[in-house]
Structure 1
Amino acid sequence: MDLHRRTLLAGALAAAPAAAAVADPAEVIPLWPRGAPGGGGAGLRQAMIERAKPGQPADRAVTGVTRPTLTVFRPERPNGHACLIAPGGAYIRVVVDKEGFEFARFLAARGITAYVLLYRLPADGWAGGREAPLQDIQRALRLVRASTPTPGSVAALGFSAGGHLTAQLATRSAEASYPPLDVVDRLPAAPDVAGLIYPVISMRPEIAHMGSRRQLLGDAPAEADVRAYSMETRVRAETPPTFLVHAADDTSVPIENSLAMHQALRTSKVPTEAHFFEEGGHGFGLRGAAGKPASATPELFHAWWMRQVGREP
């Protein structure tokens, strides 16, 4: 198959609203050309919601995802590295601008080919159920890896609920979430490094983001499911090096999520770096951290990643 094919996005991302200062890339790769594994999602209608006020930067979110895709940001001078980005949205929506496209442009400006993932949501009636987002991100990572020249590295970067999904990718890469489709599915599903930005990590009720937990596990999940989807319990020695960022004043996803993940990584002797900021709140992305110490997050992640792969930025 041609992994570099260019297609126009026929779905909700086809046209940027007037508030968007920069045009969206035209290169969009469908994850499942013949439909998602097992089917499902009957009656879903993919929709774009613009949440910004007139004159503000675009702040779009997609609901009812029926066409999971990768939107590709190619740098003018590629350095051989690639990053898969999973935006957040509480497993209810996918926030494409401030936690997706903006970070992708930052990375592309530094020579990195960035891929923003639009993934299916766990409560939308897919046959894969709560595993549907994992199916999408595992397939996406393999597609990115197939397009990345050796010896370039592949990072996965996730925000909020997208951080939970990225943590699943990092800790469950050996688990087959869907039947192989083609030669791409022979590739490893593990990233070389993972970045988790104000991530949902645990499903334990005392620290969970209850909205994400409800979408993923339902209103009264079994204790075994709570543990299985608490990513701090899934860390093993083979988990890739992991970068963490969280703000102490995050009232949506408590900082204890990242603290628990950081401790699990240290216990398993997985290389990790964590930055815990006093202020920043939740969902700050790039724009929301302006003027605050958390604004250093993109540069900190980039520098850490390049150190992990032995190449200074």
Structure 2
Amino acid sequence: MDLPGNLPSRRAVIAALTAAPLAAPLAAAAAPAAPDDIPGATILLWPDAAPGAPATLPTPKIEQRSKDAGFNDRWVTGVARPGLTVRRPARPSGAAVLLIPGGGYGFIAWDNEGEEQARWLNKLGVTCFILSYRLPAEGWGNRALVPLQDAQRAVRLIRARAGDFGVDPKRVAVLGFSAGGHLAGSLAARHAEPVYPPVDAADEQSARPDLAGLIYPVVTLAETFTHEGSRDNLLGTPSSDAQRRDASVERRVTADTPPVFLVHASDDNTVPIANSLVLYQALLAAKRPAELHAFDQGGHGFGTRLPDSAPGSVWPKLFAAYAARHGVFPAAG
């Protein structure tokens, strides 16, 4: 999902995003929630203030987009203390996925591209870590690197605490959606780039994911088919050609980029499918493992909400099979 210009007014404030470690960041209720009311667990990414913190931190907020009291569709903004919300399976297989929801780098589509993804992955025995990452336009210094700082730190913390969660540190994937796909792709291509000073022993871990899944991703910030909202939120306005090229995933592929799985719909009028095509071509040119699934229908932001009759609804099974072939997920029984 992506930022459609100015965000509408928010209707709920999430106190838990600024709570102590092991308190979850989100609540389903419209009113402010106490940490004890919130399920799940949060690992704060940074022991102190995050890099480039402004004098006044953003105010954590949530907007409940759903009109159905039994169905959550929340947008999160004001991430002052980024973290990981852990969703653990009944029978852990050792596999882990860092989930990165989209939102045009202007909000985080928490349920559609976070919680709902964790549910089907948990059924496969995959431990999920939903990333609440800082939004670059909310006053942070060095804004173009802010999301990548959080993503690198997240993978390192997952590996550093792998034993706490029954995770194999050699089986850590990332799955990103829309602008979250840009962040997941940036992580895959730029995992070794120093983007923040090390803060503790966790930063001795590798930030390279063992596999990257990019679902209707924003890829390029330099071409005419970019998603302008994501570009401008990440880089600010105006931005230079050099900045746009530097932040374009297809230009950052290296010989150490992990296997990449791509899904896109050709009728996506928000983030054109050309984004996935240009990255796929770059991966092939670099002789990196890659798989692309292009569907004629689906639009944008579909997550796992497509009806069974839609061809694109099969993408989770395809992703799981790809991850199994690369030794990250367990083989299908």
Q: TM-score, normalised by structure 1?
A: 0.92
Structure 1 residues not aligned, in runs of 5+: none
Number of the residue aligned with 1:112: 126
Are the aligned partners of 1:76 and 1:111 in contact in 2 as well (CA < 8 Å)? Answer: yes
SS class of match (1:275): strand
Are the aligned partners of 1:41 and 1:66 in contact in 2 as well (CA < 8 Å)? Answer: no
1:289–1:89 CA distance, 2 compared to 1 (3 A):
farther
In the aligned structure 1, how far is the partner of 2:195 from the partner of 2:177? 22
Number of the residue aligned with 1:312: 331
Number of the residue aligned with 1:16: 28
Q: Would you say how many aligned residue pairs link Structure 1 and Structure 2? A: 302
Structure 2 residues not aligned, in runs of 5+: 1-19, 31-36
Are the aligned partners of 2:158 and 2:169 in contact in 1 as well (CA < 8 Å)? Answer: no
Give the 4+ runs in structure 1 shifted more than 6 A.
Answer: none
SS class of match (1:170): helix
Are the aligned partners of 2:185 and 2:214 in contact in 1 as well (CA < 8 Å)? Answer: yes
Residues 265-299 of structure 1: CA deviation (Å, up to 9, x unaligned): 00001101110000000000011454311111111
Matches within 5 A, 1:1-313: 7-9=22-24, 11=25, 13=26, 15-17=27-29, 25-40=39-54, 42-55=56-69, 57-148=71-162, 149-150=167-168, 152-309=170-327, 311-313=330-332
Letter of the aligned partner of 1:51 in structure 2?
R
In the aligned structure 1, how far is the partner of 2:142 from the partner of 2:119? 32
SS class of match (2:131): strand
Are the aligned partners of 1:82 and 1:152 in contact in 2 as well (CA < 8 Å)? Answer: no
1:145–1:43 CA distance, 2 compared to 1 (3 A):
closer
User: What is the aligned-residue identity percentage?
Assistant: 49
Note the C-alpha offset of 1:40.
Answer: 1.6
In the aligned structure 2, how far is the partner of 1:98 from the partner of 1:299? 17
Q: TM-score, normalised by structure 2?
A: 0.86
SS class of match (2:151): helix
Letter of the aligned partner of 2:29 in structure 1?
P
Note the C-alpha offset of 1:214.
Answer: 1.0
SS class of match (1:143): helix
In the aligned structure 2, how far is the partner of 1:129 from the partner of 1:214? 11
Letter of the aligned partner of 1:229 in structure 2?
A
**Aligned Cα root-mean-square deviation (Å):** 1.9
Note the C-alpha offset of 1:57.
Answer: 2.1
SS class of match (1:287): coil
